[in-house]
């Protein structure tokens, strides 16, 4: 059974790779998140599970302040490095658990969370906590990996993800996300679905797993069903898996 200590250890070990990851640092999804947020100079933003802080840094020039929180201290050290490199002064960092946020109700104008909820042990509790700390009529801008509605495709991607990173809990479906939002008193205003291509060797390397586990991940891609190979656009060089494409969602949610 995965624990929060497992999650902290995993991301302590991989924090540097997330700082330098092009997928996390440079993709157009950061621009989309900023557009959906519609930031202004009086806005106070909480960035939950900030990782290396790329989302917080993207938002910071346009708002009053950003509080970047993460369960892992080493990740927040990477945020401080990025702050110094970019000379950003309105981002603060704090260790905090997404499932037990240490803030008053309605403390923030908006919350962001990018490519992280699939690691949360209790997703409903985390989303409820996020909804709680948003002011009435405030926004939650979320991005994460999602699963298709087909059970076989769902099982394939979540199995591959868990072998590659055992702290992966689940990539949820769109209906599951809409249910989580409703439970947390968050109204869905925008649902944007897009696809992202991954170089498999880079994707495996970022997780800092053993060679044996990496081989198991490659074997799962080789042994994928024809339907999974087609849907996830798995490419090969001979029998060597090269890349795959998965689904992401961007949600704009408003607190009611």
Helix axis angle, 211-222 relative to 151-164, nearest 10°? Answer: 160
pLDDT of residue 170: 98
pLDDT of residue 95: 98
pLDDT, tens digit (0-9, with 9 covering 90-100), for 164-207 = 999 999 999 999 999 999 999 999 999 999 999 999 999 999 99
pLDDT, tens digit (0-9, with 9 covering 90-100), for 100-152 = 999 999 999 999 999 999 999 999 999 999 999 999 999 999 999 999 999 99
Contact 127, 184 (CB under 8 A): yes
Average pLDDT over residues 18-28: 69
pLDDT, tens digit (0-9, with 9 covering 90-100), for 42-78 = 999 999 999 999 999 999 999 999 999 999 999 999 9
The answer to whether the Cα torsion of 213, 214, 217, 223 is positive or negative is negative
Residue count (the chain): 256
Q: What are the residue ranges spanned by the domains of the chain?
A: 4-148+169-199+247-255
Which residues share a beta bridge with 253?
140, 188
pLDDT of residue 24: 66
- How far is Cα 142 from Cα 113, in angstroms, rounded to an integer? 5
* Residue 18 banded pLDDT, cuts 50, 70, 90: confident
* Residue 16 banded pLDDT, cuts 50, 70, 90: confident
Average pLDDT over residues 28-35: 95
Average pLDDT over residues 210-216: 97
pLDDT of residue 118: 98
Average pLDDT over residues 25-46: 93
Check whether 22 has a pLDDT greater than 90.
no
* Residue 27 banded pLDDT, cuts 50, 70, 90: confident
- How far is Cα 50 from Cα 94, in angstroms, rounded to an integer? 10
The per-residue pLDDT of the chain, averaged, comes to 96
Q: 137, exposed or middle or buried, with CB in 10 Å at 0-12, 13-18, 19+?
A: exposed
Q: Can you give the three-state secondary structure of the chain, one letter per residue? A: CCCHHHHHHHHHHHHHHHHHCHHHHCCCHHHHHHHHHCCCCCCEEEECCCCCCHHHHHHHHHCCEEEEEECCHHHHHHHHHHHHHHCCCCEEEEECECCECCCCCCCEEEEEEECCHHHCCCHHHHHHHHHHCEEEEEEEEEEEEECCCCHHHHHHHHHHHHHHCCCCCCCECHHHHHHHHHHCCEEEEEEEEEEEEEEHHHHHHHCCCCHHHHHHHHHHHHCCCHHHHHHCCCEEECCEEEEEEEEEEEEEEEEC
pLDDT, tens digit (0-9, with 9 covering 90-100), for 52-61 = 999 999 999 9
pLDDT of residue 17: 75
CATH of 4-148+169-199+247-255 among 1.10.357.10, 3.40.50.150, 3.40.50.300, 3.40.190.10: 3.40.50.150
Average pLDDT over residues 219-248: 98
């Amino acid at each position: 059974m995965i624990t929060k200590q497992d999650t902290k250890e995993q991301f302590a070990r991989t924090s540097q790779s997330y700082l330098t990851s092009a997928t996390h640092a440079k993709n157009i999804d950061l621009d989309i998140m900023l557009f959906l947020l519609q930031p202004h100079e009086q806005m106070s933003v909480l960035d939950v599970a900030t990782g290396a802080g790329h989302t917080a840094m993207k938002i910071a020039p346009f708002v009053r302040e950003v509080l970047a929180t993460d369960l892992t201290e080493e990740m927040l050290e990477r945020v401080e490095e990025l702050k110094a490199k970019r000379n950003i002064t309105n981002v603060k960092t704090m260790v905090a658990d997404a499932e037990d946020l240490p803030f008053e109700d309605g403390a923030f104008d908006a919350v962001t969370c990018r490519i992280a909820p699939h690691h949360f042990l209790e997703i409903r509790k985390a989303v409820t906590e996020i909804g709680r700390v948003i002011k009435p009529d405030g926004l939650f801008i979320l991005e994460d990996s999602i699963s298709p509605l087909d059970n076989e495709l769902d099982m394939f991607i979540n199995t591959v993800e868990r072998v590659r990173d055992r702290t992966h809990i689940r990539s949820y479906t769109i209906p599951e996300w809409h249910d989580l939002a409703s439970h947390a008193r968050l109204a869905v205003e925008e649902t944007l679905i897009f696809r992202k291509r991954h170089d498999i060797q880079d994707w495996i390397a970022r997780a800092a797993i053993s060679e044996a586990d990496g081989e198991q991940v490659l074997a799962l891609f080789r042994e994928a069903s024809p339907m999974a190979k087609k849907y996830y656009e798995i490419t090969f060089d001979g029998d060597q898996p090269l890349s795959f494409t998965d689904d992401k969602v961007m949600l704009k949610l408003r607190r009611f």
